[in-house]
Structure 1
Amino acid sequence: MKLTIPTWLTLLRIVLIPVLVMVFYLPYKWTNFASAAVFILAAVTDWLDGWIARRYHQYSAFGAFLDPVADKLMVAVALFLIVQGHPTPWMAFWASVIVGREIAVSALREWMAELGQRATVKVATIGKIKTVAQMVAVSCLLYSINPKYPLHPGTDIWLGEWIFHLGDWLLAIAAVLTLLSGVQYLHAAWPALRDDEKAAATRASEEKRKHG
């Protein structure tokens, strides 16, 4: 199996996940800057590997499989860190919505792939907007949350409190868009799922007649 440049960038994104966790828990005041920087670097590699793949036609089946896995792992781990660093009910709720939707849509895509209709659940425009809002929100929250030095009024983190509120609102918006895009995916896949269910019922009925 030949590894292309986009695939190497995707693998780098996976390697950055434990780096993000380690940096987040370092007992220093600058770890919030470093955490945000690691996540932003991962987001840049996500954009860059897609651009290189399209520009130079460096596509691979392994890369197509690994890219969304790397994205979801990075976002999920970052959200877990944010909730641990700022454990409020709303923060946990928005994070649960985003991670839960990703699991559900991944399962839906796998099912559609088995039916030979994976293209039916391709990324929609609202999903792209959600991704941008989510990436900016997570970057802002990682920047403004430090588990060793919690955010408080009068913080010496540059614009930390303002950026925290921006990230908080953007995460809520991303969670709402996540639900809407999930409904879109389900609506697009529903005819194929319904037809598959009817076909399964027909096969079961025929089997019952044969052995009845």
Structure 2
Amino acid sequence: MIASLLSLSRFPLALLVFYEVAVAGNGMAAALLILLGTLTDFLDGWVARNFGQKTRIGAHLDHIGDKFFVLLTLTAFYLKGDVGFLPLLLLAFREISITLLRFYGLVGSVNGLGKLKTTVEFLSLVTLCLEPNLGKALLWVAVFLAYLSAVFYIKRPLRVGL
């Protein structure tokens, strides 16, 4: 229950980040909200594992919450003119594709590369608020890791004959 609430909290947090980036232009507030979103991403899994709250719906909420948070925040940066359309498009395509494949059980479980990708995504979002040029570079690293991890997500089920 608590783990799922933490996952769900990323949805309103993403809306607040969108406002702070695209409307208010308050980079420090946006960075703090992104850090809070990052913390909820860490805590929901930790709570689920350590307090017996692991559920299939909770895992889906976690993944969808991450994707919504990252893509809405990137959309805000795009609308503000801080990032180009290409990294947003590439990440959106990858995230939607993997989420759909995961929903239908056609990709493997989260791997270390996927966790690293998510960490770099969140780090790039915070950095875009504070140091945009470095944030853009980190965003491209996240795009690279996104597609590299996708190969492993898809390759593993293919190897076992799904």
Q: Same fold (TM over 0.5)?
A: yes
Alignment equivalent of 2:86, drawn from 84, 93, 118: 93
Q: CA shift at 1:27, angstroms?
A: 4.2
1:107-164 C-alpha deviation (Å, 9 max, x unpaired): 22233x2xxxx6x5111222122111111001111x14xxxxxxxxxxxxxxxxxx22
Matched, 1:80 2:75: yes
Q: 8 Å contact 2:91–2:143 — kept in the other structure?
A: yes
Alpha-carbon distance between aligned partners in 2 of 1:106 and 1:11, rounded to the nearest angstrom? 16
Which of 2, 7, 29 pairs up with 1:5? 2
Indicate yes or no: 2:57 matched with 1:59. no
Correspondence for 2:21:
24
Q: 1:167 is matched with which residue: 111, 114, 135?
A: 135
What amino acid maps onto 2:55 in structure 1?
S
Alpha-carbon spacing, 1:79–1:55, altered in 2? closer, same or farther (3 Å): same
Matched residue type, 1:125: G
Inter-partner Cα distance in structure 2 for 1:42 and 1:70: 10
- The yes-or-no answer on 1:132 pairing with 2:113 is no
Structure 1 residue 184 corresponds to structure 2 residue 157 = no
2:108 to 97, 121, 127: 121
Q: Structure 2: how far apart are the matches of 1:11 and 1:35?
A: 18
Number of matched residues? Answer: 162
Q: Is the 8 A contact 2:22 2:77 kept in 1?
A: no
State the identity %: 28
CA distance in 2, matches of 1:109, 1:11: 19
Matches of 1:35 and 1:102, distance apart in 2:
22
Structure (1 or 2) with the larger CA radius of gyration: 1
Find the counterpart in structure 1 of residue 97 from structure 2.
104
Partner of residue 50 from structure 1, selected from 45, 48, 68: 45
Structure 1 residues 22 and 65 mapped into 2: Cα distance closer, same or farther (>3 Å)? same
Assess, with a 3 A threshold, how the Cα gap between structure 1 residues 44 and 168 changes in structure 2: closer, same or farther. same
* Equivalent of residue 69 in structure 1, options 48, 52, 64: 64
Q: Which runs of 4+ in 1 moved over 3 A?
A: 25-28
Alignment partner, residue 202 of structure 1? none
Counterpart Cα distance in 1 of 2:24 and 2:115: 35
Structure 2 alignment gaps of length 5 or more: none
**CA drift at 1:64:** 2.1
The TM-score, its normalising length taken from structure 1, stands at 0.69
Supply the distance in 2 between the matched residues of 1:7 and 1:103 (Cα, whole angstroms). Answer: 21
Residue matched to 1:150: none
TM-score, normalised by the number of residues in structure 2: 0.88
Using the alignment, how far apart are the partners of 1:6 and 1:110 within structure 2? 19
- Give the counterpart letter for 1:45 in structure 2: T
